[in-house]
Amino acid sequence: MLYSLACGGVLLLAFLLSTNALRANRLANRWLGIFLGCVGCVLLGRVLPGTALATQYPSLGGWLEVTRLAMAPAFYLSVVQFTAPNRSWQWRDALHFLPWLSFLVLMLPALLGLGPVGMARLPGGVWRTLVFAAPKVQAIGYWLAAYLTLQQHQRQLLQLTAQPELVNLQWLKQVLWGLALLVGLWLNELFFHLGWVLMLTPLGYLGAVFYLAYYALRQREVFAFPAPVRAEIQELWQEDVPQLPDLAPSSPKQARLSPSQVAYWQQQLSQLLETQKVYLEADLSLPTLAQRAGLSTHELSYVLNEGFGVNFFQFINAYRVAEAQRLLASAQHQHLSMVGIAFEAGFSSKTTFNTTFKKVTGLTPSQFLQQVRAGNAPAPGSAWLPPMGSVG
């Protein structure tokens, strides 16, 4: 019964994601839907034995089993698509499915009732080893690749937004750990046969479906920018990916702006933030600030990195911390709670507020407030940023 519920739930979720019912992250959700469709087929293979359908179509279980080798590549490509601002289908993506296609071709004669599998000439032990080991090796390899991709995404977001927790795909990383747990349950069924774990396995699969559905259906667009801006972000991030060393001599990387231009835009940016206080906007992003300043997204990132020596997250949150210090020290704002102070300063997350405040000032917000009341609090400011014109 639990396997039937899990199977129905995961197939319904696969349909919703594949048909873009959420109107967000269209290509990424399509791959995630394919992955879930494969999971649903595997779960259906557990439900079918002993049913009239299995008796009527004896090869159906084999068709469902073939999908195993498509699961891991589909999930990995979903993660890649979630973390890429402007990525479309590439012919190299098809290479990920060569093992699945090869297995399908080899199994096709048997599935169609035309004869033994295509590798019947191999010793039975070799064939069984390949069929048994391939999904496990593939699952581990793609799991690691997906994890590293999400790690890189979370680092790169610091260039793009001051509130990365809104689009950092932490839910997808938790799904990865959930998948690791399911693989553990699967391995227990194959090797260890721990009784209490076997009893909890169907419940584990059903719980994983509900967990994934909860977060997948609440997701927001990761890169909610026009196509030209997404292309610029993609180019910016590709420059940050470490390249393999080239034995051939290469010309030095050309600076996007001259030192005098960087110093000029440092001055302009500081004036913009101090007069218009755009950092108070919780949804402020690198492209939005670039448009306000009259720069391209790439140029603004260059000014922050080369001029101030910080990324967008550090730059904007330095001003927000300074604003929070001012509010905490103000008698007119003593009625606000700590969460209220955070929101007034432009933060949309209490966690980000606390960790950033401590990193910038060396004090927690509560410790700073205690010093204010004791009369020995440091003056608000963002002195940790380099002075204007420090490039050159």
Token pair for 144: 């690691």
Residue 125 burial (C-beta neighbours within 10 Å; 0-12, 13-18, 19+)? exposed
Residue 250's pLDDT band (boundaries 50, 70, 90)?
A: very low
Q: Provide the pLDDT for residue 381.
A: 58
The one-character DSSP state at 332 is G
* Mean per-residue pLDDT over the chain, rounded: 85
Three-class DSSP category at 247 = coil
291 pLDDT higher than 70:
yes
CA-to-CA distance for 340 and 347, rounded, in angstroms?
A: 10
Least confident interval from 17-21, 85-89, 171-175, 243-247: 243-247
Three-class DSSP category at 161 = strand
Q: Provide the pLDDT for residue 248.
A: 45
Residue of higher predicted confidence among 23 and 289: 289
CA-to-CA distance for 198 and 5, rounded, in angstroms?
A: 17
Residue 125's pLDDT band (boundaries 50, 70, 90)?
A: low
Residue 359 belongs to what H/E stretch?
Answer: helix 350-361
CA-to-CA distance for 97 and 100, rounded, in angstroms?
A: 5
Average pLDDT over residues 357-367: 92
Quick count: other Cβ atoms within 10 Å of Cβ 228?
12
Q: Provide the pLDDT for residue 53.
A: 84
Average pLDDT over residues 341-352: 92
CA atoms within 13 A on the CB side of 104: 12
From residue 344, how far is each of 47, 257, 318, 333 by CA, in Å? 54, 35, 14, 10
Q: Which domains does the chain have, with CATH numbers?
A: 2-216 (no CATH), 259-374 (1.10.10.60)
Q: Provide the pLDDT for residue 199.
A: 86
Q: Provide the pLDDT for residue 128.
A: 63
CA-to-CA distance for 160 and 227, rounded, in angstroms?
A: 15
- The closest of 131, 117, 128, 100 to 38, measured between CA atoms, is 100
pLDDT digits (tens, 9 = 90+) for 30-60: 999 999 999 999 899 888 888 888 888 888 8
91 pLDDT higher than 70:
yes
126 pLDDT higher than 60:
no
Q: Provide the pLDDT for residue 141.
A: 93
Least confident interval from 152-166, 268-282, 372-386: 372-386
Q: Provide the pLDDT for residue 247.
A: 41
296 pLDDT higher than 70:
yes
Give the predicted TM-score (pTM) of the model. Answer: 0.86
230 pLDDT higher than 70:
yes
Residue with tokens 């927790």: 165
332 pLDDT higher than 50:
yes
Average pLDDT over residues 356-378: 86
Q: Provide the pLDDT for residue 49.
A: 85
Beta bridge partners of 300: none
- The closest of 247, 249, 266 to 258, measured between CA atoms, is 266
Average pLDDT over residues 176-188: 83
365 pLDDT higher than 60:
yes
Residue with tokens 């076997």: 198
pLDDT exceeding 90 applies to what percent of the chain?
46
